[in-house]
Amino acid sequence: MASLKMIEKGNWEVSFYCKQYNGENKKIKKRGFKTKKEASEYANRYIKMHTGAIDTMFFDVVDEFIDYKQDKIKYNTKINYKKVQKKYMSCSKISL
């Protein structure tokens, strides 16, 4: 069950635990959602994607990778990753 709360500036924060592929529980916390619904949808989608309940799409993996590497990569590298993502989004659905 995800915990949703309003933070300063009218943004929402979601935090929850999710069992990872290796079997350990990991606490996930993300801020900056404009609405409570967006935060709830993020939590549900994240849990489904990491428990294997839905097919993982390539662009979902790229988004998650860019979020993870946000502070560790240069701006131009991030732009190049987005270009690759956009190129494959224009193709038909590609499942991993």
* pLDDT tens profile 36-94: 898 888 888 888 777 766 666 666 777 778 888 888 888 898 888 888 877 777 664 54
Q: Are residues 28 and 5 in the same domain?
A: yes
pLDDT band at residue 24 using 50, 70 and 90 as cut-offs? confident
pTM metric for this prediction: 0.54
Q: Are residues 19 and 2 in the same domain?
A: yes
Q: Domain total for the chain?
A: 2
Residue 43 lies in domain: 1-54
Q: Are residues 66 and 38 in the same domain?
A: no
5 DSSP β-pair partners? 13
Q: Are residues 69 and 94 in the same domain?
A: yes
Which amino acid appears at position 11 of this protein? Answer: N
Per-residue burial over 41-61, b = 16 or more CB atoms within 10 Å of its CB, e = otherwise: ebbeebbebbeeeeeebbbbe
pLDDT band at residue 15 using 50, 70 and 90 as cut-offs? very high
